[in-house]
Amino acid sequence: MKKLLIIDAVTITVLFMAAVAPNYYLNYQVYASVLDSLSGFEWLTFLGILAAGALVSALFACIKFKNIPFKRRFLGADVFFNLAFLLFISYHGILAILKAEREYEALLSEYKIKAESDIKNGLIVYETAGLSISSGLVEQIKEDKIDSLMRTYGIESRNIGCMVTAPLLKAQSEYEQLTAPFLDRRNGPGWQHRMELQIENIRKGKF
């Protein structure tokens, strides 16, 4: 009895990890921390399925089999249900990871070509995400000044909307790494710090 209870507890723990791990692996660049990823976890669905499994196990346990006690029959059925659920989640988690990896490889190929092209053109495009919100005249003037400043460093900022995926973020990060040596040669040591200070001054109205 105690052995079955331990096996069931371990199975549920592994089941939880199998449910959480693929999502965190695919979106770790989006989350600030592991706790941040857990906040978006569908706890009610997960607990509901476990509860449904326990209910089904209890129903199966009502079927008397030899002289096996009810609790033992229940735990055995619950372990079987949770193992089946674990296999189901693991299968779909692996499929999701493989799909994301294929998407990343395709995007990476595109961004490598883009990096080579942008380096030749002398203008590196940093992509940002988010909804475009109209601002006042003063703020718009500041943004235009910042865009103009960035161009003097060979950089353009381009908003690509709010639909951002983890594979896209990884590919963009690779693009930035590929183009970083070009910007270092073009702008000299410490150029990022200088640019950030100038941008900060513009936002404070010092222009």
pLDDT for 185 equals 95
Give me the pLDDT at residue 190, please. Answer: 92
Q: Please state which of the ranges 62-71, 91-100, 189-198 shows the lowest mean pLDDT.
A: 62-71
- Average pLDDT, whole number, for the chain? 84
Q: Specify the higher pLDDT residue, 53 or 184.
A: 184
Nearest to 182 by CA among 127, 124, 108: 124
Locus of tokens 């943004």 = 143
Its pTM stands at 0.68
Q: How far is CA 166 from CA 28, 111, 146, in A?
A: 8, 15, 28
Query: Contact, 79 vs 7, CB < 8 A?
Result: yes
What pLDDT, on a 0 to 100 scale, did the predictor assign at position 37? 66
CA distance 136 to 61: 68
Residue 40, pLDDT score: 67
Say yes or no to pLDDT of 195 above 60: yes
pLDDT digit string (tens) for 76-129?
A: 888 888 888 889 989 988 998 899 889 999 999 999 999 999 999 999 999 887
CA distances for 84 relative to 149, 164, 193, 195, angstroms: 58, 33, 54, 56
- Confidence label for 11 from pLDDT (cuts 50, 70 and 90): confident
* 3-class SS of residue 205: coil
- Return the H-helix or E-strand segment holding 159: strand 155-159
What is the reported pLDDT for 36? 65
Q: How confident is the model at residue 186 (pLDDT cuts 50, 70, 90)?
A: very high
SS3 for 121-158 is: HCCEEEEECCCCCCCCHHHHHHHHHHHHHHHHCCEEEE
Q: In this model, does residue 207 exceed pLDDT 70?
A: no
Q: Is the pLDDT higher at 22 or at 39?
A: 22
Distance CA 93, CA 101 (A): 12
Which of the 8 DSSP states describes residue 29? T
> Distance from first CA to last CA of the chain, Å, rounded?
76
Model confidence at 67, pLDDT cuts 50, 70, 90, reads: confident
DSSP code of residue 164: -
pLDDT at position 33 is 62
Q: For residue 160, what are its two tokens? A: 């690509």
What number of residues does the chain have? 207
